[in-house]
């Protein structure tokens, strides 16, 4: 639910390791170190990922309708393009960089995926999980105690083995000036993510195996039943517990009362109610150059977050449009829809997973030292299966995400219409700026869009912003009447 997609692919293994023990933890993963990243991994993961996530992009051009609010420099091209932005375009040098960055990320994604599969296969072959299991079973009798030994041991092992992919991704982000986070700070964030993953992972693994042992045939359904409230809970606590582990949040009314008042005008225009205490500023600038905004939480924790980088470098009308997009997610209940979508995919994955696990263990279980589905040591097999499923789901997950993002764009255009002058130009310019700062490649291929695009391409978004005009034809706008 971010305004624009982030880049750095997350290590696929990391999804697995940090939380996708049974997908349950997925919402945690995206919230970990870089909120700015897009979950490039599995579908259910991604479905949840953007629930917890927001990342955006950048700087400020002068649109003629206001000066950038802060010190950020306008990218040359954005400034040159100015209010005339008709299509997404980058100066040749910047375009070359954007293409190089995109290629490198996409290669890393597939490399990391292959590497993750290999790591899991090696762990199985060398019977690492059975060794951890034996250790846990010798040490303690209680199942909870065993989970508290087994799960962190396995998840942290996977985490450490997945470190090269994470490091490569951060290295790229620094090399292309998307991240300014130092390695010490980055590693500390990584460690926090791993530790949180190990802690919650132990709880989930304990619960999951209790279900599997109780119901050897029907566990896929009961695990799903149990997973749904857990997903809801994780989404609910994410802005309260997880996100503050990595960034600081201040009420916008405190940090920028003038902007908060402007945003309230937009809210009032739509006849909605988003109180000021649900608008926050995030100190992204300590770690990132990117600009963004996002919606997070559920029910009482639901809120809109604007990155300080966005506030510093965009003009007020541009920020209002970005906020309008986020407000679309908020008002249209996209987080709720995302949870429903993720839950549906999880059900399919668990159903298929139960069968695939039985088949795999029947064939290879003995050689891998795994006694059966209810054995702690079956966890790497499950993780491997879910990694493959989520890979297959990715295009569907991305397509659904693009659909929601398009709706949010439409809502954003409608809600600021009449509040800011020349909405199409302002919106197009904000996309141009974001794309330029975030190094969005100018013309992604259809294959790249299918695999990697959680948002419509910048060019598609600019064209839509430029051409969407129900008002002049006397038609009624779809969302904001």
Residues at the contact surface with Zn ion, assessed by CB under 5 A: 1, 405, 408
Nearer to Zn ion, 89 or 401 (CB): 401
Nearer to Zn ion, 49 or 181 (CB): 49
- Return the structure tokens found at 250: 């201040």
Please tell me what DSSP assigns to residue 305.
E
- Phi/psi for 251 (5° steps) reads -60, 135
* Least CB distance to Zn ion at residue 44 (A): 19
Nearer to Zn ion, 102 or 335 (CB): 335
The two beta strands, 249-251 and 279-282, are: antiparallel
Nearer to Zn ion, 27 or 349 (CB): 27
Residue 297 gets the label, from left (phi > 0), alpha (psi -120 to 50) or beta, of: left
Nearer to Zn ion, 371 or 403 (CB): 403
* Least CB distance to Zn ion at residue 55 (A): 10
* Least CB distance to Zn ion at residue 39 (A): 14
CA–CA separation, 260 and 282 (whole Å): 14
Nearer to Zn ion, 354 or 457 (CB): 457
* Least CB distance to Zn ion at residue 238 (A): 16
Closest CA to 362 of 354, 65, 117, 249: 354
* Least CB distance to Zn ion at residue 333 (A): 13
Nearer to Zn ion, 159 or 456 (CB): 456
* Least CB distance to Zn ion at residue 3 (A): 5
Closest CA to 197 of 158, 142, 247: 158
Classify burial at 336, counting beta carbons within 10 Å of its beta carbon; exposed 0-12, middle 13-18, buried 19 or more. middle
CA–CA separation, 376 and 146 (whole Å): 9
CA–CA separation, 190 and 274 (whole Å): 33
Please tell me what DSSP assigns to residue 9.
P
- Return the structure tokens found at 73: 């420099």
Nearer to Zn ion, 397 or 405 (CB): 405
| Number of residues in the chain | 481
Place of tokens 């996100």: 243
Rounded to 5°, the CA angle 383-385-386 comes to 65
* Least CB distance to Zn ion at residue 6 (A): 11
Closest CA to 420 of 265, 218, 190: 265
8 Å CB contact between 13 and 463:
no
Place of tokens 């996209």: 334
Cβ neighbors of 290 (< 8 A, separation 6 or more) are: 6, 36, 55, 56, 57, 58, 178, 179, 284, 307, 309, 437, 438
* Least CB distance to Zn ion at residue 52 (A): 13
* Least CB distance to Zn ion at residue 453 (A): 12
Q: How far is CA 412 from the centre of its chain?
A: 20
Nearer to Zn ion, 39 or 108 (CB): 39
* Least CB distance to Zn ion at residue 405 (A): 5
Nearer to Zn ion, 181 or 292 (CB): 292
């Amino acid at each position: 639910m971010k305004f624009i997609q982030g880049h750095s692919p997350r290590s696929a293994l990391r999804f697995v390791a940090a939380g996708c023990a049974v997908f349950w933890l997925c919402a945690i993963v995206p919230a970990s170190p870089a909120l700015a990243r897009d979950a490039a991994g599995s579908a259910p993961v991604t479905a949840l990922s953007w629930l917890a996530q927001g990342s955006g992009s950048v700087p400020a051009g002068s649109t003629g309708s206001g000066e950038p609010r802060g010190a950020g420099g306008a990218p040359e091209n954005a400034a040159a393009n100015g209010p005339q932005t008709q299509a997404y375009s980058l100066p040749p040098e910047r375009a070359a960089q954007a293409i190089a960055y995109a290629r490198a990320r996409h290669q890393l994604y597939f490399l990391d995926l292959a590497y993750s599969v290999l790591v899991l296969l090696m762990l199985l072959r060398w019977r690492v999980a059975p060794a951890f299991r034996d250790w846990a079973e010798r040490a303690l009798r209680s199942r909870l105690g065993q989970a508290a030994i087994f799960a962190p041991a396995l998840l942290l092992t996977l985490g450490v083995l997945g470190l090269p992919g994470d490091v490569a991704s951060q290295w790229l982000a620094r090399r292309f000036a998307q991240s300014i986070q130092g390695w010490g700070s980055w590693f500390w964030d990584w460690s926090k993510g791993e530790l949180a993953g190990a802690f919650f992972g132990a709880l989930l693994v304990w619960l999951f195996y209790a279900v599997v042992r109780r119901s050897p045939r029907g566990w896929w359904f009961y695990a799903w039943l149990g997973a749904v409230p857990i997903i809801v809970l994780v989404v609910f606590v994410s802005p309260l517990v997880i996100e503050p582990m990595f960034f600081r949040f201040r009420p916008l009314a405190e940090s920028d009362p003038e902007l908060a008042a402007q945003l309230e005008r937009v809210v009032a225009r739509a006849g909605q109610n988003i109180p000021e205490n649900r608008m926050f500023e995030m100190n992204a600038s300590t770690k990132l150059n990117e600009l963004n905004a996002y919606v997070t939480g559920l029910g009482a924790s639901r809120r809109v977050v604007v990155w300080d980088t966005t506030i510093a470098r965009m003009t007020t009308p541009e920020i209002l449009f970005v906020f309008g997009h986020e407000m679309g997610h908020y008002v249209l209940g996209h987080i709720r829809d995302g949870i429903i979508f993720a839950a549906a995919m999880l059900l399919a994955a668990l159903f298929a997973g139960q069968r695939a696990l039985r088949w795999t263990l029947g064939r290879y279980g003995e050689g891998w030292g795994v006694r059966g589905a209810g054995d702690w040591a079956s966890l790497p097999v499950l993780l491997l299966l879910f990694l493959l499923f989520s890979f297959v789901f990715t295009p569907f997950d991305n397509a659904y995400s693009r659909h929601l993002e398009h709706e949010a764009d439409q809502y954003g255009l409608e809600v600021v219409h009449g509040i800011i002058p020349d909405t199409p130009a302002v919106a197009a310019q904000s996309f141009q700026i974001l794309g330029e700062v975030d190094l969005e490649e100018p013309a992604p291929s259809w294959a790249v869009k299918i695999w990697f695009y959680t948002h419509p391409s910048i060019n598609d978004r600019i064209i839509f912003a430029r051409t969407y005009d129900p008002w002049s034809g006397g038609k009624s706008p779809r969302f904001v009447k």
